[in-house]
Chains A and B, each alone.
Chain A
Amino acid sequence: MKSDTDLRDAIFNTLIELSKDDCSTVILVNDQSAFSLESFKRKFPDRYINVGIAEQNIINISAGLAQSGMKVYAYGITNFMSLRCAEQIMVNLCCLNLPVTILASGGGLTYAADGPTHHSTLDISVLRGMPNLTIYNPSDCVATCCSLLEAHNLKSPSYIRIEKGVLPIIHSSDFDLNDGFIEVRKANDIAIVSTGHIGHEAVKLCNLLQDSGYMTGHIDVIRLKPINEIALLKKLRKYQRVFVVEEQVPSGGLSDFIARIILESGEIIPLKGLTLPEEPIYFYGSREWLRAKYKLNADALYESVVDHCS
């Protein structure tokens, strides 16, 4: 995967390739576009439908299309494609176990300047308990495409958070998503576990900690559900301390999940979640600025980790 590929282009160009051989693929959008999505529309005009700003409807129509034999992609902004239509996802996608993939644009604080309606800090918490739903939160272009290819072959519903723009590459292309996570950096003192876009802060954080003498590893969780819990626990127990970094509220997030699997294992592994607070964010600015404000940029995370270790 080229390092200068826009993530949305990576997604839709991959979908174009998949759709050349598979005439059952159809994309529904909620009046949201992307440059490469226009290209899909030109190539397959019958299989691109702008449903309009009506997310409950998109999910219900997607379910009916899937039931009639089609592989459906539903694309829109994260919160509207999850919170707004949570019930439709639950009853018509998850309970019926239909092959619909929700492409949710802008997880976490992607739309930092747009206020709490657009801050997607709760979608994972809401979706996590839904039956049959596979949830991806990839951090880079390689992980995003890998998630899409896996989701395309599922016979069940899936949800993929997708970022926009060009991001540094974290993962090598000989990627194995089997366990749901990758230990991209190995060590035995401190483990930084991240999911999604904040993985890029985690990479910087690991470097800062390493420079200060902490042997720091990094586990990037790409598929939030299902995760190979046994394999993850095996990785975690190598470390003295585990920090979970996520651009998400703690309830129902990755730190909650890891706390449970550690607790149920009976082992003692010190764990600290570094997350957003459970409150609406009425500060407007860039994602970097907002992360600094909520102590989720690499420098602030470094301070928190060192404080906690001392």
Chain B
Amino acid sequence: MISQAGHGHIGGSLSCADILTCLYFGGILNSKSDSCKDPSRDRYIHSKGHACEVLYAVLSRAKFFPEYLLDTYGNDGTLLGGHVDSRLPGIELSTGSLGNGLGFGVGMALGARLQGHKYCTFVMMGDGECYEGSIWEAASFAGHHKLENLIGIVDRNREITLSNTEDCNALEPFSDKWKAFGWHVINANGHDYSCLDRAFVEAKAEKNSPSVIIAETKKGKGVSFMEDEVGWHHRVPQGDLLAQSKRELGMDN
């Protein structure tokens, strides 16, 4: 998709691909393509909306929309924008401006509580996104109101566009910050399915506070020359690099 379009966010898409796989194909998220308007479905908010390519791939594989749409990415008039768009089936919130997904998720979780719904709201954030103050406004509210039906996921790939997070403006001690805001914190390897599965089961079982899974990941995971290389936030692999990427990811041709 990205190489065909000539633009995209490959690093941050690959870093959260395993987490999305676990959510959608590991039986964690109760949301199916044939009931994507069912009021009792779990809500998934992709707050790091620039990493849209991975969500498009997952949703099409999960039959929310046909896979041929992926080939239109980057074309004039495509339905697949450069940031996720809630007019597409399976996408709960249009995002792109970082820092707003968690507050929206807090509202949905609070709405579920006030109206007696049992669904769970999941919010995927980038770690760089956590520089936004609005994340912490929302985190504070969720912790205070003990929104146990809210699960945050932070794609802790440690890279922002221009540098490592700890060199730019250290996020650590990251877990302690979430704990201080009243969250149940679960640290997980974001590329290990069994570890992620355990983390989600633990988060769903938590009944006293919102949970956040801090998933340690690698930006550009699966492609040797991209992994942890700052430049691959939004570079586009072409030619030999594209062939190598596909080979290393085990993709056809």
Contact = CB atoms under 8 A, between A and B. Distances in A.
A66 interface: yes
A96 B133 CA distance: 22
A207 interface: no
Contacts of B186: none
B133 A61 contact: no
B97 interface: yes
> A52, A59, A70, A92: which has the most chain B beta carbons within 10 Å?
A92
A54 B134 CA distance: 8
Nearest to B142: A61
B141 A63 contact: no
Given A51-B141, A91-B100, A56 B134 contact: yes
B107 A68 contact: yes
A120 interface: no
A47 B114 CA distance: 8
A67 B106 contact: no
Given A60-B106, A92-B100, A69 B137 contact: no
Contacts of A47: 114
A68 B120 CA distance: 12
A286 interface: no
Q: Taking chain A's interface residues, is the majority helix, strand, or loop, or is none over half, making it mixed?
A: helix
Given A57-B137, A92-B104, A64 B109 contact: yes
**Size range of the chain A interface in the assembly:** 20 to 34
A91 B103 contact: no
Interface in B148-183: none
Nearest to B121: A64
Contacts of A95: 94
A70 B115 CA distance: 9
A70 B137 CA distance: 21
Given A57-B138, A96-B86, A96-B94, A64 B105 contact: yes
B117 interface: yes
A201 to B, nearest CB: 39
Given A64-B104, A64-B105, A96-B86, A57 B111 contact: no
A17 B93 CA distance: 32
A67 B104 contact: yes
A62 interface: yes
Counting contact residues on chain B (CB < 8 A from A), the size range is 20 to 34
A65 interface: yes
Contacts of B111: 64-65, 67-70
Interface in B87-138: 92-94, 96-97, 99-100, 102-112, 114-115, 117, 133-134, 137-138
A54 B141 contact: yes
Q: Which of B104, B112, B141 has the most CB of A within 10 A?
A: B104
Given A47-B114, A95-B94, A64 B108 contact: yes
B115 A60 contact: no
Contacts of B134: 56-57, 60, 88
Given A87-B97, A91-B94, A61 B103 contact: yes
Interface in A29-72: 46-47, 49, 51-52, 54, 56-57, 59-70
A88 B133 CA distance: 13
Nearest to B85: A95
B106 A61 contact: yes
Contacts of B86: 96
A56 B100 CA distance: 8
B106 to A, nearest CB: 5
A221 to B, nearest CB: 32
A65 B107 contact: yes
Interface in B2-54: 39
Contacts of A46: 114
Contacts of B104: 60-61, 63-64, 67, 92
A51 B117 CA distance: 22
B18 to A, nearest CB: 27
Given A57-B134, A91-B94, A96-B86, A69 B115 contact: yes
Contacts of A96: 86, 93-94
Given A63-B107, A67-B107, A68-B117, A52 B100 contact: no
Interface in B219-245: none
19 contacts: A24-B115, A54-B141, A56-B99, A60-B100, A60-B103, A60-B106, A61-B141, A62-B107, A63-B103, A64-B105, A67-B93, A68-B107, A68-B111, A69-B111, A91-B96, A91-B97, A92-B93, A92-B100, A96-B93
Given A46-B114, A51-B141, A54-B141, 18 more contacts: A52-B140, A56-B100, A57-B134, A57-B141, A60-B104, A60-B106, A60-B134, A61-B106, A61-B110, A64-B104, A65-B107, A67-B111, A69-B39, A91-B94, A91-B96, A92-B93, A92-B100, A96-B86
Interface of A: 24, 26, 46-47, 49, 51-52, 54, 56-57, 59-70, 87-88, 91-92, 95-96
What are the 4 closest A-B residue pairs judged by CB atoms, nearest first? A64-B107, A60-B103, A68-B111, A57-B137
